[in-house]
Structure 1
Amino acid sequence: MRRNLLLLLLVPILVVILVGTGVVLAGPPVALVGSFVGSLVKTLGAAPVSAGVNGVSSSDEEARQVDRIAPSAPAGAEVTEVATAARAAAKADAEADAEAAARARAKAKAQAEAAAKVRAAAKAEAAAGARAARAEQRREDREKAGIAVVQGRLAELKYYADSIDGVSGTATISAVMAFQKVNGLSADGVVGPLTRAALDQPVAPALQGGAATRVEVDLTKQVLYYVRNGQLERIMAVSSGSGESYETSSGGTATSLTPVGSYIVERKIPGIREAPLGSLYDPMYFYAGWAIHGSDSVPSYPASHGCVRVSRADALWLYAQLDIGTQVSLYGGTYTFSAGSGAAGTSAPAGDTGAAEVDS
Structure 2
Amino acid sequence: MSRRIALTVLVPALIGTMVGVGMAAFRPSERQVVGVEESSSPPVPGSDAPSIPPSRSPSPSPTVERIDPLPTPPASPTPSPTPSPTPSPEPTATPGPGYDVAAVQQRLTDLKYYVGAIDGKAGPATVSAVMAFQKVNGLGADGVVGPLTQAALDNPVTPTLRGGPGTRIEVELSAQVLYFVQGGELSRIMPVSSGSGQSYTTASGGTARSLTPVGTFTIERRISGVREANLGTLYDPMYFYRGWAIHGSNSVPAYPASHGCVRLTRSDALWLFDRAPVGTAVSLYGGTHVFTPGSGAAGTDTPAGDTPADTPPVETAAPAPAPTTPPPAPA
TM-score range (shorter-chain normalised) is 0.5 to 0.7
| Secondary structure of 2:214's aligned partner | strand
Work out the CA distance in 2 between the residues paired with 1:229 and 1:187. 29
Work out the CA distance in 2 between the residues paired with 1:228 and 1:175. 19
Work out the CA distance in 2 between the residues paired with 1:249 and 1:165. 45
Work out the CA distance in 2 between the residues paired with 1:337 and 1:160. 31
In the alignment, which of 221, 242, 252 is matched to residue 267 of structure 1? 221
Work out the CA distance in 1 between the residues paired with 2:298 and 2:288. 13
Equivalent residue, structure 2, for 1:198 = 152
| Secondary structure of 2:132's aligned partner | helix
* 2:181 pairs with 1:227: yes
- Structure 1 vs Structure 2 CA RMSD: 2.0
Number of aligned residue pairs = 218
In the alignment, which of 302, 309, 319 is matched to residue 348 of structure 1? 302
How far did residue 346 of structure 1 move?
2.0
How far did residue 344 of structure 1 move?
2.2
| Greater mean alpha carbon deviation, residues 339-348 or residues 299-308 | 339-348
Equivalent residue, structure 2, for 1:322 = 276
Work out the CA distance in 2 between the residues paired with 1:344 and 1:178. 31
How far did residue 270 of structure 1 move?
0.6
Equivalent residue, structure 1, for 2:261 = 307
Cα gap change, 1:250 to 1:144, in 2 (>3 Å):
farther
Equivalent residue, structure 2, for 1:338 = 292
Cα gap change, 1:270 to 1:229, in 2 (>3 Å):
same
Instruction: Report the TM-score, using the length of structure 1 for normalisation.
Output: 0.58
Q: Does the CA-based 8 Å contact 1:145-1:166 persist in structure 2?
A: no
Work out the CA distance in 2 between the residues paired with 1:221 and 1:341. 24
In the alignment, which of 118, 122, 138 is matched to residue 168 of structure 1? 122
Work out the CA distance in 2 between the residues paired with 1:357 and 1:273. 16
Q: Does the CA-based 8 Å contact 1:269-1:356 persist in structure 2?
A: no
- The C-alpha deviation readout for 1:118-139, integer Å capped at 9, x for no partner, is xxxxxxxxxxxxxxxxxxxxxx
* 2:163 pairs with 1:209: yes
How far did residue 356 of structure 1 move?
5.3
- The C-alpha deviation readout for 1:184-237, integer Å capped at 9, x for no partner, is 000111110100110011000011111111000000000000001110000000
Amino acid at match of 1:309: R
* 2:247 pairs with 1:297: no
Work out the CA distance in 2 between the residues paired with 1:236 and 1:183. 13
| Greater mean alpha carbon deviation, residues 322-331 or residues 167-176 | 167-176
In the alignment, structure 1 segments of 5+ residues that lack a partner are: 1-139
How far did residue 342 of structure 1 move?
1.5
Work out the CA distance in 2 between the residues paired with 1:145 and 1:282. 35
Q: What does 1:22-41 correspond to in 2, within 5 Å? A: none
- Which is helix-richer, 1 or 2? 1
How far did residue 355 of structure 1 move?
3.7
How far did residue 144 of structure 1 move?
10
Work out the CA distance in 2 between the residues paired with 1:240 and 1:212. 25
Work out the CA distance in 2 between the residues paired with 1:284 and 1:291. 5
- The C-alpha deviation readout for 1:244-291, integer Å capped at 9, x for no partner, is 000001100000000000000001101110101000011000000000
Equivalent residue, structure 1, for 2:133 = 179
Moved over 3 A (4+): 142-145, 355-358
In the alignment, structure 2 segments of 5+ residues that lack a partner are: 1-93, 315-331
Equivalent residue, structure 2, for 1:218 = 172
